[in-house]
Structure 1
Amino acid sequence: MTCEGCAAKVSSTLKQIPSVQNVDINLEQGEATIEMERHIASSELQDILKDYPKYQLSEKNVTMHQNVFAPIAEPEKTWLETYKPIVLIFSYILTISLIAGFSNGIFDYMTAMRVFMAGFFLTFSFFKMLNLRGFADSYSMYDVVARKFKGWGYLYAFLELALGLAFALNFEPFLTNLVTLIVMTISIIGVLKSVLNKKKIQCACLGTVFNLPMSTVTIIEDGLMILMSLAMLFLM
């Protein structure tokens, strides 16, 4: 590794392993110090870096620390506790969308859907922008395009921002919905593969601010945007 970008990529990738607590990379010495809840063989660590063959790991100095007292296990979170950020965000956006739909006294479902789409993309792009590099690294773990073209992760965040503004301004509705349909369809492919393969990785939908696991919730989230863009295309 010769640059901070390489170090960030390796660190972010290794942290996807549930038992890895921290990764500290020394660029000058070309070494990585990995703190783990349990010992993980270098072969297992290398396996998660299989998409980056130029980064090779080998054990240099393994130190085991045994606690005198048994560690206190964190209570398992409920579904609502885990996905509380997404539930709150969707609730706020849905409320605003319903209010906008009733603004003229008669419910306008097209306006409600357009406002919902605007709120969705603007909010989610905001969280991605908070740590653009971290999002791009996480996104490349499962997205079919980002795995081959790392720059897509960076472009995707700005594309979401552009779509959010387009929906908010009602700019070229047909084109905006068509682009949304294409982008979200591509996005859901990687999500489906990860969930079906039961990969325990972080969902990058809200960037790196919240540690949300990839699950059927992510599928529903992307699927909803696909259905809404389809509906708006057929009903306009």
Structure 2
Amino acid sequence: MPKPAKTAILYRMVMDKHICPYGIKAKWLLEKSGYQVDDRHLTSRAQTDDLKSQLQVDTTPQIMINGERVGGYTDLQVHLGQPAAKPDQASYTAVIAVFCVAGAMAISLNAAIFGDFLTARLAEWFVGFSMAMLAMLKLQDIEKFSTMFLGYDLLARRFVPYAYSYPFLEAFAAILMIGHWLPWLSIPVAFTIGTIGAASVIHAVYVQKRDIQCACVGGSAKVPLGFVSLTENFAMIAMAIWMAFKYGVA
């Protein structure tokens, strides 16, 4: 005998000026999981408040399966055995994305210009693109970045303007290094901020044994302070030393 169809009732906000994104996600997830969805739209604030009152809940969407309320989108993820995102959970996703995209850009540019995938410029572009992208993430919310940065950076604690200028210095050095412009300026900038950053991370993590968040991707992700921050800083130092010898600045 054929299996009975799996059905679910979905209550979600669909208004002229607002369509709930989690409602759309919930519908997609249910259909992807083989459910026939009875998609019930809440087209006004009154309808939405009415539903919340009836079900004694604070949010929508709300999903019902087999006559029982599952809950909202996150509850549905758990019900279907999918890992739900945790707001306070540490994640390296943002950093991995930066390094992967920077690496792909470096490889693509290297192949287009030199017709080869492996040259010395590949490493230079990879570090330069990574620095520029990390600086961009910091600049998305410089207030949030500076607040996190002041939590561990040794120079910023003594001179607050440095916390605000750091992303600009990182972006400035990266842009100059990518194009090999003004090495006499980009090299000392990268070496200085990289050295201060590395010393600050080592002091906070390995001397003080503190468990805090890194400001390396701004305030948009919860990346633990430690290996990733050291990698960013050591990469800047290595790039500066490499280019110093290359241009005879040392």
Normalised-by-shorter TM-score class = 0.5 to 0.7
* Pair 1:93-2:94 in alignment: no
Unpaired runs of at least 5, structure 1: 1-73
Question: Which residue is 1:193 aligned to?
Answer: 203
Question: Which residue is 2:135 aligned to?
Answer: 125
SS state at 1:206 partner: strand
Question: Cα deviation per residue 1:110-147 (whole Å; 9 max; x = unaligned)?
Answer: 42233223312221111111111111111111111101
- Measured in 2, the distance between the counterparts of 1:149 and 1:120 equals 26
Question: Which residue is 1:170 aligned to?
Answer: 180
- Output the amino acid matched with 2:239: M
* Aligned alpha-carbon RMSD (Å): 2.5
Q: Which of 154, 160, 184 in structure 1 is aligned with 2:164?
A: 154
TM value normalised by structure 1: 0.61
8 Å Cα contact 1:93/1:116 also seen in 2: yes
TM value normalised by structure 2: 0.58
* Pair 1:205-2:216 in alignment: yes
Question: Which residue is 1:227 aligned to?
Answer: 238
Which stretch has the larger CA shift, 146-155 or 225-234?
A: 225-234
- Output the amino acid matched with 1:222: N
Question: Cα deviation per residue 1:6-40 (whole Å; 9 max; x = unaligned)?
Answer: xxxxxxxxxxxxxxxxxxxxxxxxxxxxxxxxxxx
- Measured in 1, the distance between the counterparts of 2:167 and 2:173 equals 10
* Pair 1:179-2:189 in alignment: yes
8 Å Cα contact 1:110/1:232 also seen in 2: no
- Measured in 2, the distance between the counterparts of 1:173 and 1:155 equals 20
- Measured in 2, the distance between the counterparts of 1:106 and 1:152 equals 40
Larger radius of gyration: 2
8 Å Cα contact 2:102/2:130 also seen in 1: yes
- Output the amino acid matched with 1:93: A
Question: Which residue is 1:217 aligned to?
Answer: 228
How far the C-alpha of 1:92 sits from its partner, in A, is: 1.2
- Measured in 2, the distance between the counterparts of 1:199 and 1:109 equals 39
- Measured in 2, the distance between the counterparts of 1:228 and 1:140 equals 25
- Measured in 1, the distance between the counterparts of 2:173 and 2:154 equals 21
SS state at 1:207 partner: strand
- Measured in 1, the distance between the counterparts of 2:227 and 2:84 equals 22
Question: Which residue is 1:104 aligned to?
Answer: 114
Question: Which residue is 1:64 aligned to?
Answer: none
Which of the two has greater strand per residue?
2
Identity of aligned residues (%): 25
SS state at 1:82 partner: coil
Q: Which of 144, 159, 173 in structure 1 is aligned with 2:154?
A: 144
8 Å Cα contact 2:127/2:235 also seen in 1: no
8 Å Cα contact 2:131/2:170 also seen in 1: yes
- Measured in 1, the distance between the counterparts of 2:104 and 2:244 equals 23
Question: Which residue is 1:82 aligned to?
Answer: 91
